[in-house]
């Protein structure tokens, strides 16, 4: 017998059935059999909607601080609405550990939707954060009918109220019009200076490819988006313009602060794309075709496993005496090796400003010079302000001045905060 697993694809079931029984059934027959198997193991599809409110209430009673907002709609009978009957419409939920963890994550959140493959379809909206050790963490969810302005407004309003009230937060998303409408609502709390928006460059590049089929030009656009300095940005734009001026005109219609790293004022922490694919693989794999109550239960269980596993990893690192996340330590070690070939000149002692010349390992000639300000934590290379920890040039200045580099690292990279996020 082929095991009744929600993650098994129809194609796999077709091949397994053909191999085992010697005949190949129709796709529809296999699809119906799979739905019946899922319903047998995980419960009836219709009853699952009735069970969901009861399960949510149970979690709220046992785990104080759980947020769940259920929206129902009256049943339409002919031209009239029957207020005495209601059907499931939308559900927003998050758990206390997710709310607490986000307080110690980078001040940005990625949002996206993923289709559900169950009997009644629908869309799961997800908000994803990342801590200072590059751990991806889903912090809020919503079951909705699809991606539209109303469903995104429902999700984003509760996300802002219950999980992400911080000022100056960055929201990374695709260019879906429903997200745009929800974020630009006057009462939504997502307008600058309260919050800022940025586009996932992967989606911008995909939109670009719909008009321009040149793969090399698409790579040039992505390189321009990742550029950390104005000089580098113009360099890639000049090449793109030489390919086709219309490509630059297309890109110039999108505000630079929405898709280029150079103009994001350091809010992205170098996050140019959304993390939804990694989240789907780690948390949602195999659950998107389950009945809704089983889907929510599965997410609850997998989040619990994630918090336990990442918490133990952070504790193990802390026991070694580390002050910063393992991700940061590796970056700093790599930057220190690079900084050995630099020549530093102090030109403003009061403001801790330096000129750093990159030279070849033999010091035979210069590869360029950069101005570094430790006071304002900036460097001409753009890495210092983009990543919020010292670039190789800044580390060279610290060594020249006999200063420790630790004060120039953003708090989010401290291991104590990583541990608090998963504590």
- Peptide bond connecting 94 to the previous residue in cis, omega within 30 degrees of 0: no
* pTM of model > 0.85: yes
Based on the fold, state whether residues 301 and 152 are members of the same structural domain: yes
51 and 154 inside one domain: yes
Is residue 224 situated within a structural domain? no
Whether 339 and 164 have beta carbons less than 8 Å apart is answered as no
158 & 286 share domain: yes
For the CA atoms of 145, 10, 290, 137, the dihedral, rounded to the nearest 10 degrees, stands at -80
Residue 416 in any domain: the answer is yes
Q: Are residues 166 and 288 in the same domain?
A: yes
Domain for residue 15, yes or no?
Answer: yes
One domain, residues 92 and 176: yes
62 and 187 share a domain?
A: yes
Categorize the per-residue pLDDT at 77 as very low, low, confident or very high, splitting at 50, 70 and 90: low
**Same domain assignment for residues 36 and 132:** no
Tell me whether residue 229 is in a domain. Answer: no
Q: What is the pLDDT of residues 184-232, one digit of tens each?
A: 999 999 999 999 999 999 999 999 999 999 999 999 999 999 999 999 9
| Strands (DSSP E) found in 27-79 | 67-77
Under a CB-based contact definition with an 8 Å cutoff, are residues 65 and 99 in contact?
yes
Is the Cβ–Cβ distance between 101 and 137 less than 8 Å? yes
Q: Report pLDDT for 5.
A: 47
Average pLDDT score over residue span 39-60: 86
Number of C-beta neighbours around residue 185 at 10 A: 15
**Average pLDDT across the chain, whole number:** 89
Q: Which residue has the higher pLDDT, 261 or 15?
A: 261
Beta sheet of 366-373, edge-to-edge order: 342-348, 353-359, 366-373, 378-379
What integer pLDDT is reported at residue 79 of this predicted model? 66
Same domain, 69 and 24: no
Q: Averaged over 395-423, what is the pLDDT?
A: 94
* Residues 278 and 341 placed together within one structural domain of the fold: no
Total domains, the chain: 3
- Quick one: pLDDT at residue 9? 65
Contact between 85 and 168 (Cβ < 8 Å): no
Is residue 195 located within the same domain as residue 115? yes
| pLDDT > 70: percent of the chain | 90
The DSSP-derived string for 105-173 is: S-SEEEEEEEE--STT--EEEEEEEE-TT--EEEEEEEEESSSSHHHHHHHHHHHHHHT---TTEEEEE
User: Which residues in 227-257 are b (16+ Cβ under 10 Å) and which e?
Assistant: bbbeebbeebbeebbeeeeebbebbeeeeeb
CA 291/CA 34 separation, integer angstroms: 13
Is residue 139 within 8 Å of 98, Cβ to Cβ?
yes
* Domain identity same for 289 and 397: no
Given a contact cutoff of 8 angstroms between Cβ atoms, the answer to whether 292 and 377 are in contact is no
**CA–CA gap between residue 162 and residue 102 (Å, rounded):** 11
Q: How far apart are the first and last CA of the chain?
A: 43
Confidence of residue 2 (pLDDT cuts 50, 70, 90): very low
Q: What angle do CA 289, 5, 21 make, to 5 degrees?
A: 120
Beta bridge partners of 372: 354, 379
Q: Confirm whether 260 is domain-assigned.
A: no
Take residue 172 and report the two structure tokens written for it.
């990374």
Same domain, 193 and 150: yes
Average pLDDT over residues 56-75: 91
238 belongs to a structural domain: no
* Radius of gyration, alpha carbons of the chain: 25
Q: Cβ distance 376 to 382 under 8 Å?
A: no
Q: Which of 274, 283, 313, 281 is nearest to 422 (CA)?
A: 313
Task: Say what the pLDDT of residue 1 is.
Answer: 30
Domain span holding position 130:
46-200+274-312
Predicted confidence (pLDDT) per residue in 284-343, tens digit: 887 888 899 999 999 999 999 999 999 999 999 989 999 999 999 999 999 999 998 899
Structure tokens at 176: 């879906």
Residue 84 host element (H or E) = strand 80-94
Count, residues in the chain: 423
Summarised one tens digit per residue, pLDDT across range 322-339 is 999 999 999 999 999 999
Reported as a single tens digit per residue, the pLDDT across 123-143 is: 999 999 999 999 999 999 999
């Amino acid at each position: 017998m082929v095991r009744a697993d929600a993650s098994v694809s129809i194609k796999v079931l077709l091949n397994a059935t053909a191999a085992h029984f010697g005949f190949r059934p129709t796709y529809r027959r296999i699809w119906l059999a799979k739905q019946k198997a899922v319903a047998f193991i995980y419960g009836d599809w219709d009853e699952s909607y009735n069970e969901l409110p009861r399960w949510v209430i149970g979690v709220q009673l046992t785990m104080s601080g759980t947020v769940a907002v259920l929206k129902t709609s009256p049943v339409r009978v002919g031209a009239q609405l029957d207020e005495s009957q209601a059907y499931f419409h939308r559900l927003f939920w998050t758990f206390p550990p997710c709310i607490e963890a986000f307080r110690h994550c980078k001040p940005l959140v990625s949002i996206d939707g993923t289709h559900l493959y169950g009997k009644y379809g629908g869309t799961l909206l997800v908000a994803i954060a990342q801590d200072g050790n590059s751990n991806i963490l889903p912090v809020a969810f919503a079951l909705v009918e699809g991606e539209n302005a109303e469903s995104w407004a429902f999700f984003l309003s509760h996300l802002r109220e219950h999980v992400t009230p911080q000022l100056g937060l960055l929201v990374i998303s695709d260019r879906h019009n429903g997200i745009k409408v929800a974020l630009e609502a006057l009462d939504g709390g997502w307008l600058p200076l309260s919050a800022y928006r940025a586009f996932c460059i992967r989606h911008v590049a995909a939109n670009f490819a719909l008009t321009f089929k040149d793969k090399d030009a698409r790579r040039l656009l992505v390189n321009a988006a990742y550029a950390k300095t104005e000089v580098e940005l113009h360099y890639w734009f000049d090449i793109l313009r030489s390919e086709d001026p219309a490509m630059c005109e297309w890109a110039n219609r999108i505000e630079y602060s929405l898709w280029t790293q150079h103009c994001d004022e350091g809010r992205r922490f170098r996050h140019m794309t959304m993390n939804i694919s990694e989240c789907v693989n780690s948390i949602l794999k195999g659950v998107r075709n389950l009945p809704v109550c089983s889907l929510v239960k599965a997410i609850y269980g997998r989040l619990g496993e994630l918090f336990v596993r990442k918490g133990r990893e952070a504790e193990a690192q802390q026991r070694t005496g580390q002050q910063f996340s393992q991700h940061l330590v590796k970056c700093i070690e790599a930057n220190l090796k690079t900084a050995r070939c630099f020549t530093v000149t102090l030109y403003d002692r009061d403001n801790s400003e330096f000129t750093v010349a990159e030279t070849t390992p033999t010091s035979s000639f210069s590869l360029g010079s950069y101005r570094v300000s430790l006071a304002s934590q900036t460097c001409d290379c753009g890495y210092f302000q983009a990543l919020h920890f010292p670039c190789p040039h800044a580390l060279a200045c610290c060594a020249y001045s006999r200063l420790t580099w630790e004060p120039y690292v953003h708090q989010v990279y401290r291991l104590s905060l990583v541990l608090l996020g998963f504590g």
